[in-house]
Structure 1
Amino acid sequence: MNSLINGKALAWDIMGSKYWDSGYNGGPSPRDIQKYLDKIDKNKRVAVIGASTVNLIKAALESDLNITVIDFSEKMCNCLAKELLPQKCNIVHHDITKPVPEFLHNKFDYILADRLINRFTEIEIRKAFKEVLQLLNDNGIFRTSIRLGLYKRDMPFISEGKKRGTLHNFFDEETWIIDYSKCDDILDEFISPHGEISKDTLVEFYRLRGPEKRLRASDIENYVNSIALQDKCLKILSTETLPDVTDDLLYSFQVKNL
C-alpha cells in the first residue's frame, strides 16, 4: 500500500461500487445536491473530495463545472471512472490528510464533500482542513455536510457496550472517539442493513474505518480557528440544515486573508 495513503482507505477499497449500485445511497439526495451546488457558476473549478458521492459528482458535471475528484481509495477512483462513462473528469488518487501535490495548490474556487471530516480522528480532521485550505484559491469556499452529535447507528452499540461493561473498549465518552473495529461481536449483531450490501462486507467495512471523532459545533469552530497557512485562513461563512438528510448541517467555510 502507498505509504502516503491512510489505512482507512482499505475500507472503501473493499466497498468499491457497492456503495452506489447495491440499493444503498449514502450520499446527498437530489434536493440536498441543489444546496451543495447553489450559486456556483458554470466553469468554476470545483474539487469533490470523496469518489463515493457519485450523484453529487454527476450533477456537478451536468452543471458544466470543471470537476476534479480526490479520493484516498484507488478502487473507488477506478470504480468512479467507469461509472461516469461516457463523461469524464479529473480523478486524483490522494489522501486529503496528507500534503496535496503542488500542482493542485490554490487551484479551486470551491471544494465539496459529504461528511468528510466525520470519517476522521481529531488529528486527521486538522490535517484535512489544512490541506483543503491549500487547495482553495483566494476567497475560495469549502462546502461540506457535517453530522454533529452521535450517529443514530452508534446508539445500539453504546447501549450494548454499557450492558456488557465493554463500552470503554470502543467508545471514549470524554473525547467522543468511537472505533467499531474494537466492538467485537457487537458489530456483527447490531450493524444495520445498507441496501443489498452483504453483512460480511459491511462488518469488514466498518472495522477497517477505524477510530472516528464524533463532533460538536464547538469542535468545528476550534479546528477552523486553529488552522492557518502562510497569509490565509478559513472562516465559517454559514451553516444550514439540509432539506432531506436533516441530521446533517451544510457548512460553508471561506478563505480569508490574515
Structure 2
Amino acid sequence: MRSNIVTDTVINDKTVGWDIVGGLFWEKGRQSAKPSESELELFTAGIKPGDKVAVIGASTKDLIEHLIAMDVNVTVYDFSKGMCDSLKEALSPNVPPIRVLDITAPLNRELIGYYDYVLNDRLVNRFTTQEAEKALKNMVALAMQGEVRASVKLGLYAMDEKMIELGKRRQVLERFYCEDTQTIDFSKADDILEESLLPHGQIDRDVLLRWYQSRGMETRFSDSSLKQLIEGVILDDGSQINVEHQCNFPDAQDTVMYSLKSV
C-alpha cells in the first residue's frame, strides 16, 4: 500500500526540534498554543466542500480535523517527518495526504497555484525574517488565484521577555538576542534558556529544553514590521502580496490573522 506521506527536499535545520516534540505538541502542549473554536471558524470561513486547502504545519491538528469534517480537499505540509508521522498516527484511519515539505525551500513547479486556500497558524513565529520571507512567498505561490490565511503572534512571548531580562542582568544579551532585528537564538541561550524555560502544558521539561535549543533563531514581528516584509516580497511572475484583511484572534492575546493575496 502506498504511503500518503511523501518526502520532498528539506533544507531547514529546525526540523530536528520538531522531530523531537512530534505529537506531544497536541497531546500534552498548552491549550493556548492551539486555535480555539472561534478561531477555527475564522480560519475556515467561506471555505466550501471540495475546495483545495493546504495546511502548512502538522502541529495544527485541530484545524486539520475541522477541515476534514467540512469535506474539503485538504493536504498537510510540514518540514518535520516526525510531526507528519505523529499526525498520520493521530488521524488514522481518516488520514488526508501528508507531505514532508520545507516551505522555506524552492517549490516544485506543479504545486504553484494548485490550492484555493493556504492556512497556517503562528508558523511565521518559528522563522527568522529571511525564512519568513521565503515562506510567505511560497505560501502565496501555492494559492496564486486564491487566499493565504496566516495567524501571527505579534511581539515577544512571555519566555522571550524573561530571557531578555535575565540576559541584560548578566550582561550576556548580545549572545542570543539582537534588538535591532528582534531575533532570538535559542541555540545560543544556554543557561539563560534553561533558567527561563516556562511550562508548555504537560510536555516533559527535558524534551521541552531540547525542542527549544533545536529551534535556533526566531524573529519577533510587530504589525508594521510584518507588513513591511510582506510588501517587499516579489513572486516569480513579478506580482506582489497584498494584505486583504486582518483580524485579531479573540482568544489569543496579540495574535492577528492576515488574509494575503497576490496582486
Deviations 1:119-172 (A, max 9, x none): 11111111111211221131x111011111111221111111111001111111
2:205 to 196, 199, 206: 199
Aligned counterpart for 2:108 among listed residues 101, 104, 109: 101
Q: Does 1:4 align with 2:10?
A: yes
Number of aligned pairs?
255
Q: 2:158 aligns with which of 131, 137, 152?
A: 152
Aligned to 2:251: 244
Match of 1:209 among 198, 215, 233: 215
C-alpha separation in 2, matches of 1:93 and 1:40: 24
In the alignment, which residue of structure 2 is the partner of 1:87?
94
Deviation at 1:5, TM superposition (A): 2.7
Identify, as 1 or 2, the structure richer in strand.
1
Q: Distance in 1 between matches of 2:141 and 2:184?
A: 29
Rounded to whole Å, the distance in 2 between the matches of 1:150 and 1:246 is 11
SS of 1:232 mapped into structure 2? coil
Is 1:51 the counterpart of 2:58 in the alignment? yes
The letter of the residue matching 1:218 is S
The AA in structure 1 aligned to 2:11 is: I
CA RMSD of aligned residues (A): 1.6
Matched, 1:166 2:184: no
Asked whether the 8 Å contact 2:10–2:79 carries over to 1, the reply is no
Asked if 1:135 is matched to 2:142, the reply is: yes
What SS does the aligned partner of 1:107 have?
A: coil
Q: Calculate the TM-score normalised by the size of structure 1.
A: 0.94
Q: Where does structure 1 differ by over 4 angstroms across 4 or more consecutive aligned residues? A: none
Tell me which residue corresponds to 1:61. 68
Take 2:253 and 2:50, find their aligned partners in 1: how far apart are those partners? Answer: 30
Q: CA deviation at 1:71?
A: 0.2
CA distance, structure 2, for counterparts of residue 132 and residue 3 of structure 1: 16
- Does residue 1:32 correspond to 2:32, yes or no? no
Corresponding residue to 2:132 among 111, 125, 133: 125
TM-score computed with the length of structure 2 as normaliser = 0.93
1:233 equivalenced with 2:240 (yes/no): yes
Q: Give the Cα–Cα distance (whole angstroms) in 2 for the partners of residues 80 and 5 of structure 1.
A: 21
Tell me, which stretches of 5 or more residues in structure 1 are unaligned? Answer: none
SS at match of 1:159: helix
Deviates more, 1:51-60 or 1:187-196: 187-196
Flag the 1:120–1:245 CA change in 2: closer, same or farther, 3 A. Answer: same
Structure 1 residues 28 and 214 mapped into 2: Cα distance closer, same or farther (>3 Å)? same
How far apart are the structure 1 equivalents of 2:10 and 2:22? 20
